Amino acid sequence: MSKPLVSPGSPRSAVVTGAARGIGRAIAVELVGRGYEVVVTDLDADAAEITAKEIGAALGLGLDVTDPEANRDVAARARELAPLGAWVCNAGVLAEGALTTLSVGQVRAMVDVNVLGVMWGVRAAADAFRDQNGVTGGDIGVLASLSAHAPVPGLSVYAATKAAVLSLTTSLASELHHDKVRVHAVCPDGVDTAMVEAMDAQGDVRAALAAGVLLSPQQVARELVDMFGTGRVYKTLPAWRGIVARTASLAPRAAVHVDPWVRRLGARRLKKEGKR
């Protein structure tokens, strides 16, 4: 059973972005279970409200994470419930395809949401943490990806955005340390979400994911929130895949030759499971 992070006598609020479904919803559920007054946010305001009611969260709000002021407004709403204790930057978008085949709009959306959206969320959260009389510190969680560690043909832009936020996390862990703000990132392999399900079933990216480990949103949520209150900066799920990925990043030329083998392995698994 997950351990409570917030005592009933001193409630704290928490904000989760992109939380109407998938990993974000699972994180919101985890935080509700650990005693936070959770604010579920999503670009789809109606879906955020529905999810909040379904999971027992305090509030459901619409949020465009690419709007700096909107992030600050949400932080203010959360602080009306209780001092802010956690902010999770989960919202993200993915467009499958090589850089040369993606539209300008697709590239901009991934950079704006996956990178700038995290930055604006962190700024809003950090300012809120600093401005709480008598209540110090808090936790910021970031959804990165295994793709942050290694070459991922077919997801080059998405992987670059996740590498950016992982780098941001490691720097912020030092920048915000003196404010007693702890920053954590989780880097999961493929996760069983609508985002993955929407990928081209005949494509190389889906095959590469099949060669790895498909995690549940609940596993990712638990691993991320378990880092709250600790000095752990990031965690890769599963750990062995992180070792393989980082090794590939140290030898990118070799990875070029290994990648087709990985995709063939995944394709065979998909065929065996009747998904191709």
Closest by CA to 55, choosing from 78, 30, 77, is 30
**Contacts for 47 with CB less than 8 Å, ≥ 6 apart:** 20, 21
Closest by CA to 51, choosing from 79, 95, 17, is 17
DSSP, collapsed to helix, strand or coil, labels residue 183 as: strand
pLDDT in tens, 94-140: 999 999 999 999 999 999 999 999 999 999 999 999 988 778 899 99
Q: Two tokens at 121? A: 């969320």
The answer to the question of residue 105 being in a domain is: yes
- Cite the active site residues: 158
The answer to the question of residue 101 being in a domain is: yes
**Contacts for 217 with CB less than 8 Å, ≥ 6 apart:** 22, 23, 25, 26, 191, 192, 193
Cα–Cα distances (Å) from 256 to 29, 151, 163, 251, in that order, read 40, 8, 19, 9
pLDDT in tens, 32-64: 999 999 999 999 999 999 999 999 999 999 999
The answer to the question of residue 204 being in a domain is: yes
Phi and psi angles of residue 248, each rounded to the nearest 5 degrees, phi first: -65, -35
CATH of residue 211's domain is: 3.40.50.720
If one counts the domains in the chain, the total is 1
Whole-prediction pTM: 0.86
The answer to the question of residue 1 being in a domain is: no
Closest by CA to 144, choosing from 87, 195, 200, 186, is 186
pLDDT in tens, 196-248: 666 655 555 554 554 556 899 999 999 999 999 999 999 999 877 666 766 66
The answer to the question of residue 190 being in a domain is: yes
Which parts of the chain fold into alpha helices (H)? 22-33, 45-55, 68-81, 104-111, 117-130, 156-175, 194-197, 204-210, 217-226, 239-250, 252-272
Give CA–CA dist 73/57, Å, rounded: 18
Domain range for 86: 13-272
The answer to the question of residue 69 being in a domain is: yes
Assess contact for 60 and 53: CB atoms under 8 A.
yes
The answer to the question of residue 5 being in a domain is: no
Cα angle 15-20-21, degrees, rounded to a multiple of 5 = 120
Phi and psi angles of residue 65, each rounded to the nearest 5 degrees, phi first: -65, -15
The answer to the question of residue 182 being in a domain is: yes
Radius of gyration of the chain from its Cα atoms, rounded to whole angstroms = 19
Query: What is the band of 259 on the pLDDT scale with cuts at 50, 70, 90?
Result: low
DSSP state letter for 43: S
